[in-house]
């Protein structure tokens, strides 16, 4: 717009410039930076090149489109793909407007579904292939994932292993328990049989997970009679805390042999059968001591860090065979093993871990099965454990400063308690 001056020339008035807020200015600067341009280019290329021909869609729940192995995520409308032709009625919904405003998946005139305009690249990057994020498998619900499946558990005669076995039996699974103590194994078997229905298998095997030949014989016996092992829960483990200079070397070897090599032994025996079937799921138990090293656990933490590294590396190798791997980080849990652990726990260790509280083994077991159903790689049952996991990843080496502060406070509290006669060492 403009106006004419006295000589008839058009004079262009300067346009008023919009004033941006600081946040909008920062967003505009990021959008024009190389990272912003790269992301916009990725989304633009994705929209143009990833179109997937799909037949008619029908509104259903949950919020995924299921077509064989294909999963298409839609944030607001829930649809199911129908293999037959378009119906005459109003089940078909034209989503071309959704494509423009970014509210969901867009359906073109030819029946093709393309990525929504405003969805992040991580959601729409793979519409051309078989899988579209989110990557986790949908919950099976009602424990159907475990019905008529065989689960082998180590350390199943007490504690978290026994609680897991009870939940699995209630969900219709066949259960096999491995432990060393024959009396406790028989007691656990009788308790599980009282909850089992007709046709459910509940069996026990006396074996030491430190002995690979014994574990291999158990696995071969189960698989040899035509019973595939669908789930392996490596729960067996123990902790003996203490001051490093006071612990015998045998304690370090025993905990590494049981906690780490026991996990490796059973996994090594089961994996060839799972690979041949191209299915199965392995659940390894680490600990909060596998997330951050704690005062007094110089023998225990290395074994649980090893389980963590083993599980994460194993997951990458077994994923192409359709085998899932999960690793559990339970907090302090009210089990018989924890009561034994407290007998040798240093004062500083009790001070540091005392504020976290105890979980019941049934709560941990419920969280584990829920995580397996949801396809979780990391299963962290408690809020304290989740915060610890986030903190160690965000803070890095700064977690050592926090641990040093807690140790100094514990030692100060120990010094104050000594005159009253309670050293607690």
What's the pLDDT tens digit per position in 369-398? 999 999 999 999 988 778 878 877 777 666
Looking at residue 129, its pLDDT comes to 30
| Whether 304 is catalytic | yes
Q: Are residues 94 and 168 in the same domain?
A: no
Same domain, 175 and 312: yes
Q: Spot the catalytic one: 47, 260, 297, 304.
A: 304
CA atoms of 120 and 415, how far apart (whole Å): 56
Number of domains in the chain: 2
Domain-embedded: residue 22: no
Q: How far apart are the first and last CA of the chain?
A: 86
Please report whether residue 6 resides in a domain.
no
The mean per-residue pLDDT over the stretch 219-236 comes to 96
Show the domain range for 273: 150-390
Domain assignment present for residue 202? The answer is yes
End-of-domain residue from the set 108, 135, 162: 135
- Which of 79, 260, 297, 300 is catalytic? The answer is 300
pLDDT at site 404: 74
Q: Is 194 inside any structural domain?
A: yes
**CA-to-CA distance for 137 and 128, rounded, in angstroms?**
19
- Checking if the pLDDT of 18 tops 70, the result is no
**CA-derived radius of gyration, the chain:** 29
| Mean pLDDT score across all residues of the chain | 74
Q: Tokens standing for 245? A: 């200079």
- For residue 300, indicate whether it is catalytic: yes
Provide the CATH number for the domain around residue 306: 3.40.50.720
- The answer to whether 125 is a known catalytic residue is no
> What is the model's pLDDT at position 146?
96
Instruction: Looking at the structure, tell me whether residues 201 and 336 fall in a common domain.
Output: yes
């Amino acid at each position: 717009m403009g106006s004419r001056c006295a000589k008839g020339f058009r004079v262009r008035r300067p346009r008023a410039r919009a004033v941006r807020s600081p946040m909008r200015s920062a967003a505009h600067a990021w959008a024009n930076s190389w990272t912003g341009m790269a992301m916009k280019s990725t989304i633009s290329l994705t929209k143009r090149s990833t179109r997937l021909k799909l037949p008619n869609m029908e509104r259903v729940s949950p919020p995924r489109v299921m077509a064989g192995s294909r999963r298409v995520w839609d944030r607001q409308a829930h649809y199911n793909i129908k293999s037959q032709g378009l119906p005459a009625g109003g089940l078909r919904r034209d989503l071309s407007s959704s494509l423009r405003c970014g509210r969901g998946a867009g359906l073109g005139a030819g029946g093709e579904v393309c990525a929504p305009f405003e969805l992040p690249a991580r959601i729409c990057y793979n519409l051309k292939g078989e899988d579209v994020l989110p990557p986790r498998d949908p919950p099976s619900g009602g424990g159907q994932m475990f019905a008529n499946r065989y689960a082998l558990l180590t350390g199943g005669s007490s504690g978290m292993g026994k609680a897991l076995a009870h939940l699995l039996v209630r969900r219709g699974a066949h259960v096999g328990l491995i432990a060393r103590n024959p009396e406790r194994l028989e007691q656990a078997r009788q308790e599980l049989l009282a909850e089992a229905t007709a046709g459910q298998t509940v069996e026990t095997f006396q074996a030491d997970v430190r002995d690979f030949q014994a574990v291999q014989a158990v696995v071969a016996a189960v698989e040899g009679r035509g019973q595939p092992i669908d789930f392996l829960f490596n729960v067996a483990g123990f902790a003996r805390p203490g001051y490093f200079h006071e612990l015998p070397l045998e304690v370090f070897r025993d905990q590494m042999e049981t906690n780490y090599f026991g996990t490796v032994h059973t996994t090594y025996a089961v994996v060839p059968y799972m690979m041949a079937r191209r299915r199965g799921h392995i659940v390894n138990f680490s600990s909060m001591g596998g997330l951050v090293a704690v005062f007094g656990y110089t023998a225990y933490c290395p074994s649980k860090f090893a389980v963590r590294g083993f599980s994460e590396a194993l997951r990458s190798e077994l994923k192409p065979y359709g085998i899932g791997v999960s690793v559990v980080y339970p907090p302090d849990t009210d089990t018989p093993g924890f009561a034994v652990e407290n007998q040798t726990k240093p004062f500083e260790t009790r001070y540091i871990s005392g504020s976290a509280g105890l979980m019941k083994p049934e709560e941990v077991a419920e969280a584990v099965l829920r995580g397996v159903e949801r396809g979780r790689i990391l299963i962290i049952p408690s809020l304290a454990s989740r915060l610890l996991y986030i903190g160690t990843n965000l803070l890095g080496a700064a977690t050592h400063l926090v641990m040093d502060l807690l140790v100094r406070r514990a030692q100060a509290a120990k010094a104050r308690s000594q005159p009253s006669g309670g050293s607690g060492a």
